[in-house]
Amino acid sequence: MSSAPASAARIVVALDAPSLDDLAIEIAREVASAPTFELLGLFVEDQWLLEHAKSPLAREIVMSGLERPLEASRLERQLRAQATQARSRFEAAAIQAGVRHGFQIARGDLVDELLRAAANAEAIVVALTRSERRRGASLGALARVGLHALLFARESWLTGRGILAVVEASGGARESLRVAARLAERTRSPLRLLPTTEAHADESALAQIEELRGRGLAVQLLPPSRRLTPETIARSALDARLLIVPSGSAERDADLVEQLLENTRAALLLIRD
């Protein structure tokens, strides 16, 4: 495990979906607020599942389609094997990216463990499987922490079409647009911008958008909205691979996370200017 200087920022990467390791590290690099940072890989063994396995009524379905009792000892071995695989993937990706890194295994509830890790982090990256979509309400709690960045990496990153960035007043757009532009360049993705009416009339915001076009990016400016609700954003993000939204108040951010995870398939990045 590489160690980072005391002044280095920490970005926690919670891993569950194998295909998203590279995305998680790539975006973590872009959202880091300083050149020196440490990635902490986190694998959470589901305590609820382990407790459930102790019930005599617990069952599991094997690959043959047959049903058998769910044994706690066998489940523990499976979880530990998954953690070992996750660690190997994460460390290989971090080494290839040249990033300082560490790895931890925790046992408990995913959100509780992430909230605990958030106390010493500037950003959290959560690689979500499809089953995690049902946990949008609990995952919204992470948005109340006031992190610099919060990313929910999802499998649609591999299949979606382009990046959608919400553009609010110019003061709240600089960081989200910078990250959106960098990721669009690195992944050769078209970039769509969804502005508020205020941002659309702001000369500073428009100048920043024109600067992106000057860099050769394929930029589409969508019609502005007076107020960008979760429903408005979700409609514009139907086929997006990544949705980037500037962070606001804690309650507003939590509501956005819950609704956008529920109503879109896109990976979601919430970022503070």
CATH classification at residue 47? 3.40.50.620
Q: Please identify which residue in the block is written with the tokens 């919400």.
A: 166
- Give the SS3 label for residue 219: strand
Question: What pLDDT shows up at residue 192?
Answer: 93
Structurally, the chain folds into a number of domains equal to 2
Residue 203: which region, alpha, beta or left (left: phi > 0; alpha: psi -120 to 50)? alpha
d(CA 122, CA 193): 26
Question: What pLDDT shows up at residue 168?
Answer: 82
In terms of domains, do 91 and 189 share one?
Answer: no
143 domain-assigned: no
83 domain-assigned: yes
Question: What pLDDT shows up at residue 142?
Answer: 92
270 domain-assigned: yes
Beta bridge partners of 204: none
In terms of domains, do 108 and 40 share one?
Answer: yes
Question: What pLDDT shows up at residue 1?
Answer: 40
In terms of domains, do 170 and 253 share one?
Answer: yes
Nearest to 196 by CA among 220, 174, 228: 228
Task: List the chain pLDDT tens, one digit each, 273 residues.
Answer: 444 444 467 889 887 655 566 777 777 777 776 667 888 999 887 766 656 555 554 545 544 444 555 566 676 777 788 888 888 888 888 888 888 899 998 888 888 889 998 888 989 988 876 555 445 568 889 999 889 899 998 877 778 889 999 988 655 467 888 888 888 888 888 999 998 888 888 877 778 888 888 888 888 989 988 888 999 999 999 889 999 999 888 888 999 999 999 899 899 999 987
Contact predicate 192/242, CB 8 Å: no
What domain range is 108 assigned to?
1-127
For 170, which DSSP code?
G
Query: Looking at 108, 127, 146, which one is the last position of a domain?
Result: 127
Question: What pLDDT shows up at residue 134?
Answer: 47
In terms of domains, do 197 and 117 share one?
Answer: no
Give Cα 40 distance to the centre of its chain. Answer: 14
Beta bridge partners of 124: 12, 150
Longest Cα–Cα distance of the chain, Å, equals: 66
* Helix and strand numbers, DSSP H then E, in the chain: 10, 12
Q: Please identify which residue in the block is written with the tokens 């960045």.
A: 149
Question: What pLDDT shows up at residue 49?
Answer: 62
In terms of domains, do 111 and 182 share one?
Answer: no
3 domain-assigned: yes
In terms of domains, do 80 and 13 share one?
Answer: yes
